[in-house]
Amino acid sequence: MKPYKACSCRDPETKRLLGKQCPNISKKGHGGWYARYEAPKSAGGNRRQPRIGPYDTEKACKEALGKALGTSANPKAHDERKTTLGQYLERRYTWRTSEAETGEGLKKSTLDAEREAIDLYLNPGLGHIKVVDLDDEHIRELYAAMRKINRPDEGDERTEILRRLQEVRATRHGKRLHSRPISESRIRRVHAVLHGVLADASKLSKIRTDNPSDGVWRSKGGKRKQGRAKPLLWTAERVEQWEKTGVIPAKVMVWSSDQCGNFLDFADASEERLYPAFHLDAHYGPRRGELVGAEEQDLSLERKRLHVLQAQSDDELDDTKTEAGYRQIPLDDETVRVHKAWHKRKLEERLKWGEAYKDSGRVYCYEDGTALKAEYLSSRFRILLERHANIRAKGKEGWSLKRIALKFRTTEAAVEVALRLTLPPIRFHDLRHGAATMLIAAGVDDKFVSEVLGHSSVSFTKDVYAVVAEEMEADATRRIAAFIPRQKRLSAVGAISVPSGG
């Protein structure tokens, strides 16, 4: 089992391979390193001594021999030695599909997502490599190539693996794939599929003894993972400072209840078509993908419930972010009223579009019935905030309500709402943070809040939102005290004479 050096030279007279007997075998760069080892006997009882090689160095040969010896007690490992990752991916996917057909396996959306990862990334990138030869460097090279897709520098030093990925991505099911760069979250999902495949290859199929994908993915950019950014409340003092300097105090900011109410009033008065989605998000905080992915069959206005069963990410339906994401959201009477009006509006749009209407079955959709893109929801949110700020700017210049309404093509009622209060900037996702904060500040039970938001634990909810909820309560208390006019009290108690005796 000791490595040896051999070559493919032949005897000039007999034409037989010289192998280890070649007179030039000791020369540097001539031949390669090989090794044989004892494998389990064949089904017929015959002795088997597989050979591995060639390798450029004795060290590389020894490492390969060590891997082979680690599986030498398993006959199946030797039968699978030539199995490529692509072959094993297809075999495993067939197993998982058959399990799903019995009702015991994965959801169709999960299998579809796995199919996409196989077709677009794993097969073209690593499918030609034998499972036993796959190592962490192959995997890192795949992810490095994925990060270059659709970026300005993708043509610089284009690797073979990047070329294969680009060829496959040209079209899929007759459609050209999107031109956005691959996100880190997408790479994480592909890695999750690959990790599961190699775990099965190791633990179930026994093709190899280790999982080379272990430890490959640590954190974005290789940097140490930062702690979760906790929300900060837009208090009156912070709003005032922001108006002076334009500096936002923290990455994650949430509105007070008054600010959130002003935004919803403004969106409603502006006759914003997607107002119901903003209303629901501000009150119960579903994630953007969950809003866009919600289907009509999951919303029961009679029972006042919304079932969150899926989410849309990168234009495709997928599972919710976590298992806790599967949940029911109870709806209040006003939210039910808003969505009954929304349902009526969608019926009117269906009649208007006629045969051109494409019913996606989603709660929130475009006017023609097609499914919303998640980014469109965020875009409408930003447009409303910008319009709100512009209206206030014109109001400070002395413009009349009618003139402002004509300028921004909105209603005078919306102008009146905007002029009442400043709305500092937040992201669309921060409506979710605000909903959590206001629910806690309103005294709603922590466990209920955690379940409504789809958090994995109550402790997570309290850790992230408890402090800002307390700050919201304190800010409200200060504003209430300031709202009630009082005479100034005498600062010196001694100024009041107290008669002595009885």
Instruction: Give the tens place of pLDDT for each residue, 431-461.
Output: 999 898 888 888 888 888 888 888 877 887 8
- Interacting residues of 464 by C-beta distance below 8 A, sequence separation 6+: 228, 230, 231, 436
Q: Across the chain, which distance is largest between two alpha carbons, in Å?
A: 138
pLDDT band at 71 (very low <50, low <70, confident <90, very high): low
Residue type, 470: E
The dihedrals phi and psi of 175, each to the nearest 5 degrees, come to: -120, 145
Task: Report which of residues 74 and 46 the model is more confident about.
Answer: 46
* pLDDT-derived band at 14, boundaries 50, 70, 90: confident
Helix (H, G, I), strand (E, B) or coil at 164: helix
If pLDDT is split at 50, 70 and 90, which confidence band does 491 have? very low
Whole-model pTM: value is 0.55
Q: Where in the chain is the domain with CATH 1.10.443.10?
A: 232-483
> What is the structure's pLDDT at 238?
93
* The pair of three-digit structure tokens given for residue 205, joined into one six-digit string: 């199929």
Q: Is the pLDDT of residue 410 over 90?
A: yes
Band the pLDDT of 180: cuts 50, 70, 90.
Answer: low
Average pLDDT over every residue of 253-272: 94
Supply the pLDDT for residue 421: 95
Sole residue written with tokens 């900060």: 232
Q: Does domain 232-483 have CATH number 2.170.260.10?
A: no
List alpha helices for 151-222, DSSP H. Answer: 160-169, 184-203
CA distance 163 to 152: 15
| CA angle, residues 286, 290, 294, in degrees to nearest 5 | 115
**Mean local confidence (pLDDT), 29-41:** 78
pLDDT score of 153 = 64
d(CA 470, CA 233): 10
Beta strands per DSSP E along 219-343? 232-233, 253-254, 299-300, 305-308, 311-313, 316-318, 327-330
Determine the Cα–Cα distance for residues 232 and 304; give it in Å rounded to an integer.
31
- What would the pLDDT profile of 233-251 be if each residue is shown by its tens digit? 999 999 999 999 999 998 8
Task: Judge contact between 148 and 182, C-beta under 8 A.
Answer: no
Higher model confidence: residue 494 or residue 182?
A: 182
Note the pLDDT of residue 171.
62
Residue 167 clears pLDDT 70, i.e. is over it: yes
Average pLDDT, the chain: 82
143-168 b/e with 16+ CB inside 10 Å = b?
Answer: bebbbbbeeeebeeeeeebbebbbeb
Is it the case that residue 223 has pLDDT exceeding 80? Answer: no
